[in-house]
Amino acid sequence: MPKLPFSDTTDVETSEAPIDFTNTASFRPHRQESDQFGKAMFIGLGIVLVVFLGSMIAVLMMHAPKL
């Protein structure tokens, strides 16, 4: 395998910051957007959970017929 040439300097030593780097704006705050799909998923999962628990209660309350 051929030897690849590597320099001894690092990226930090060779990189230069822009002249007006101190005047740059900081990161914009992230606005929390309403996630309609996420809300719909949680509502749907809640309905499914209530139906499942209701069916489990109905099964547990069943009695075998007397012979």
Q: Is 5 helix (H, G, I), strand (E, B) or coil?
A: coil
pLDDT of residue 16: 65
- Listed by start position, the domains of the chain span 37-61
The amino acid occupying position 20 is D
Q: Kindly report the pTM of this predicted structure.
A: 0.47
Q: How far apart are CA 7 and CA 26, in angstroms?
A: 34
Dihedral (CA of 53, 58, 63, 64) sign: negative
pLDDT digits (tens, 9 = 90+) for 29-60: 666 667 889 999 999 999 999 999 999 999 99
